[in-house]
Amino acid sequence: MDDFLAISECSVAELHELLAESSSLKAFYQSGRRDLCLAGKTLAMLFEKPSLRTRLSFQVAMTDLGGHPIYVKPEDIGGIGKREPVKDIARVLSRYVQGIMARTFEHQTVLDLARYADVPVINALTDWSHPCQAMADVLTIQEHFGRIEGIKIAFIGDGNNVARSLAFAAGKLNMKLVVASPHGYELDGATIRQANAFTPGCTEQSNDPFEAVKDADVIYTDTWVSMGQENEKAKRQKDFAGYAVDAKLVAAAPQHVKIMHCLPAYRGYEITDEVAESPASILFDQAENRLHFQRALLKRLMA
């Protein structure tokens, strides 16, 4: 494994190894021990979009492992691919650091970084996917249900980057994902076909949230307005009416259902405050597991 760009590019064995390493490093750190396997190593972190969880969890993970993270704002370097080509940034950084992670608008930017860098590149969210999030989500599911295989996730909302990474995770790790979206906001057919090529029937698209949650173990949602779509906000808020995760929708799911959201959550839109704060909500376990997965990923790629 040289880079971490998409779950669809990883083997099933690699994904299981990453999950096992996440759990074992989590227990190791929680017992007060430290694994300084990245001492003397530096990670460059490039962000074209805001971030709380991804930025902080990577910074903490890198520090925990004895390494050094450097946060780079695009304006500091004159924009990614603006002052100089992405391929030059990749080659220059490869002479200074032992790893690069990037959060970008275009997925192609991360692919170009990976193509030209001599060091591992990590996708920290693009418009197309959010693989680190989906892996932390799978880790959270494993902890709450004691298994991954056969777990059914009903994703209510936009067929976006997060939904796409969950579809690939479902395909590779034998879960079931139903994405319930309004017309025009469905997960694209190519993603559904690719996920189903890994595990036939693992991913379905629907327009009916109540049907989707009927036999779900997890109800998952994300913002209706992803970063970069701010100018579509009013239209999206109108189009997604009826797709909120509220008490009525949760009541249509089995009693044991857990509520997940990658955060940040826009209460009163895709999720009500009541549901986000309910005993079924595991939002903050998910957020915590970003750190535990990221430690395992950095160790795997950079140690």
- Helix-helix angle 161-173:189-198, to 10 degrees: 20
Give the tokens for residue 191: 């993603």
Find residue 123's DSSP bridge partners. Answer: 102
**Smallest distance from ligand NVA to CB 219, Å:** 16
Residue 169's binding partner, choosing from ligand NVA, ligand CP, none, with beta-carbon cut-off 5 to 8 A by kind? Answer: none
From the list 64, 164, 222, 236, the catalytic residue is 222
Please report, as residue ranges, which positions from 258 to 277 form the binding site for ligand NVA (by CB under 6 A): 262
Quick one: which of 12, 27, 52, 303 contacts ligand CP (CB under 6 A)?
52
Active site residue 2: no
Contact 224, 157 (CB under 8 A): yes
223 binds, among ligand CP, ligand NVA, none (CB under 5 to 8 A by kind): ligand NVA
Nearest to 265 by CA among 238, 279, 285, 245: 245
Active site residue 290: yes
Nearest CB to ligand CP, comparing residues 51 and 196: 51
**b or e along 186-199 (b: 16 or more beta carbons within 10 Å of the residue's beta carbon)?**
bbeeebbebbbebb
The reply to whether 37 belongs to the active site is: no
Buried b (16+ CB within 10 A) or exposed e, 120-140: bbbbbbbbbbbbbbbbbbbbb
Region from 59-67, 145-153, 200-208, 220-228 binding ligand NVA, contact rule CB under 6 A? 220-228
Show the tokens assigned to 22. Answer: 């996440």
The catalytically annotated residue of 130, 164, 261, 292 is: 130
Which member of 133, 161, 272, 289 binds ligand CP (CB under 6 A)?
A: 133
State the binding partner of 52 from ligand CP, ligand NVA, none, CB within 5 to 8 A by kind. ligand CP
Residue 161 interacting partner from ligand NVA, ligand CP, none (CB closer than 5 to 8 Å by kind): ligand NVA
Which residue in 94, 98, 123, 160 binds ligand NVA (CB under 6 A)? Answer: 160
Q: State the residue number with the nearest CB to ligand CP.
A: 54
Q: With binding defined as CB under 6 A, does residue 44 bind ligand NVA? A: no
- Which candidate, 155, 205, 154, places its Cα nearest to that of 183? 205
d(CA 274, CA 279): 10
Phi then psi dihedrals of residue 15, to 5 deg: -65, -45
Task: Figure out which of the listed residues 56, 70, 227, 252 binds ligand NVA, where binding follows CB under 6 A.
Answer: 227
Helix (H, G, I), strand (E, B) or coil at 198: helix
What is the DSSP-derived secondary structure letter of residue 159?
A: -
The CA distance from 86 to 67, in Å, is 25
Instruction: Confirm whether 133 is a catalytic residue.
Output: yes
Catalytically active residues, by annotation: 103, 130, 133, 222, 262, 290
Binding site for ligand CP (CB under 6 A): 51-54, 125, 133, 262-263
